[in-house]
């Protein structure tokens, strides 16, 4: 029986994917790299250091270290989120939905913990979550299931008792590999990606989730 819900963060609870794109393009431009939105989509869902490593290997810049670029991107996106980050449609609805049913609630994100904490404070949703886990501290990031398994363990839940909410293919694969049920809420321009067929449910908004859909899982 499902009694636990685990949420991704970026692109699911907060509309931060465009802010990540802006911060990455801004910082990458300082090392002579022009990263289009199409190229940036190749690394959606990965940890920041993995994104930087991927593009460092591709473009071979030497003006700054990969570590410095990573730090500058995190600082840039954090500042943008605190200035203009907006909750995704249905954020408070979905938290209330599961709280009313006494679900254990967690967050499993690829973002570093300092950014996660900034988002939770900005959205004022920290008290709603019983466990918060960053893939920053895992040996592998998504699509490896480590961050989801760690979150389930912190919640004292079996993965088979969990439903994960995701917005990316990378995150969906991670949650499925952890043997969890998965609900995906993709960005508008990614809704037709065929890989999302692997999810148990696909929604256009968190507001679409209801008791009937919970019973389907």
What span, in angstroms and rounded, lies between the C-alpha atoms of 192 and 80?
29
Q: Give the Cα separation of 178 and 152 in Å (integer).
A: 9
Residue 8 is a catalytic residue:
yes
Q: Which letter does DSSP use for residue 3 in this model? A: -
Helix ranges (H only) for 60-177 are 66-84, 91-99, 113-123, 146-154, 169-177
- What is the maximum span of the chain, computed from C-alpha positions, in angstroms? 54
Assess contact for 112 and 95: CB atoms under 8 A: no
> By three-state DSSP, how is residue 197 classified?
helix
> Does the annotation count 10 as an active-site position?
yes
Q: Looking at 8, 167, 204, 210, which residue is catalytic?
A: 8
Distance (Å) of CA 11 to CA 48, 137, 184, 188, 191: 15, 21, 11, 11, 13
Q: What CA–CA distance (Å, rounded) separates 6 from 152?
A: 8
Of 2, 119, 113, 125, the C-alpha closest to 48 is: 113
Active site residues: 8, 10
């Amino acid at each position: 029986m499902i009694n636990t819900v685990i949420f991704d963060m970026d692109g699911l609870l907060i509309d931060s994917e465009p802010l990540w794109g802006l911060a990455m393009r801004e910082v990458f431009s300082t090392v002579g790299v022009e990263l289009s939105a199409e190229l940036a989509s190749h690394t959606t869902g990965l940890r920041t250091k993995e994104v930087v490593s991927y593009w460092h290997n591709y473009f071979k810049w030497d003006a700054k270290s990969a570590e410095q670029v990573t730090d500058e991107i995190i600082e840039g996106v954090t500042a943008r989120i605190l200035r203009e980050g907006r909750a995704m449609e249905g954020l408070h609805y979905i938290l209330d939905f599961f709280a009313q049913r006494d679900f254990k609630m967690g967050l499993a994100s690829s973002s570093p913990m300092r950014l996660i904490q900034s988002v939770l404070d900005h959205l004022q949703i920290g008290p709603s979550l019983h466990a918060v886990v960053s893939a920053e501290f895992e040996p592998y990031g998504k699509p490896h299931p480590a961050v989801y398994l760690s979150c389930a363990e912190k919640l004292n839940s079996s993965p088979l008792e969990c439903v994960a909410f995701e917005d990316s293919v990378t995150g969906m694969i991670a949650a499925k590999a952890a043997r969890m049920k998965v609900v995906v809420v993709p960005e508008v321009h990614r809704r037709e990606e065929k890989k999302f067929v692997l999810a148990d449910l696909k929604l256009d908004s968190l507001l679409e989730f209801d008791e009937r859909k919970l019973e389907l899982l």
